[in-house]
């Protein structure tokens, strides 16, 4: 029996990226979107990347979130090998604070797009929300959950600041 397809794949170049990319996973979990997370390195495990990217669509994934730091080729190489939408998250690197990751991911040549988010945690959360928006186009229940998530965020913003301890 075929296994149930998972909607979103979260891939990252290293275990060290999980501190950032877990925020994408947590956001998808909050929206009840099926997903799985894997370490796939463009440089250290190129065959794993090839196998993943070339079979991602056939395996039922609908959106890919790819996080990497430094010379961050993972999102772009993934986008080169799949027609699925790929959202790239620049992980904050030690040497250049993620500026290297950002430029590596965002400066794709015309014809091979990677939807590039902000450096770090904010980018990981927003990549998940972008994935949710795409999936919600054809899923009214998810669209309602996404609306509720955004309404909750709005309701949690206090009108006046308070002194913090």
Contact between 16 and ligand RP5 by CB under 6 A: the answer reads: yes
Contact between 69 and ligand RP5 by CB under 6 A: the answer reads: yes
Residue with smaller CB distance to ligand RP5, 16 or 152? 16
Query: Helices in the chain by DSSP H: which ranges?
Result: 18-30, 46-55, 74-80, 99-106, 121-136, 140-155
Q: Tell me the closest approach of the beta carbon of residue 120 to ligand RP5, in angstroms.
A: 11
CB–CB of 62/134 below 8 Å?
yes
Contact between 90 and ligand RP5 by CB under 6 A: the answer reads: no
Residue 95 has a CB neighbour count (10 Å cut-off) of: 9
- The token duo for 164 is 């913090």
Applying CB under 6 A, the residues found at the interface with ligand RP5 are: 13-14, 16-17, 41, 43, 68-70, 91
Residue stretches of the annotated binding site = 14, 17, 44
């Amino acid at each position: 029996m075929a296994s149930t397809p998972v909607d979103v794949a979260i891939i990252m170049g290293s275990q060290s990226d999980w501190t950032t990319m877990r925020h994408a996973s947590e956001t998808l979990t909050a929206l009840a979107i099926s997903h799985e997370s894997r370490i796939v390195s463009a440089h250290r495990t190129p065959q794993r990347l090839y196998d993943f990217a070339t079979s991602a669509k056939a395996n039922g994934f609908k959106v890919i979130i790819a996080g990497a730091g430094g010379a961050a080729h993972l999102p772009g190489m993934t986008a080169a090998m799949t027609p699925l939408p790929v959202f790239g998250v620049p992980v904050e690197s030690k040497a250049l604070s993620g500026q290297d990751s950002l430029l590596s991911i965002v400066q794709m040549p015309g014809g091979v797009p990677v939807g590039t988010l902000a450096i770090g945690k904010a980018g990981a959360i927003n990549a998940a929300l972008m994935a949710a928006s795409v999936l919600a186009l054809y899923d009214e229940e998810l669209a309602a959950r996404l609306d509720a998530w955004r309404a909750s965020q709005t309701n949690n913003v206090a009108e006046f600041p308070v002194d913090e301890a």
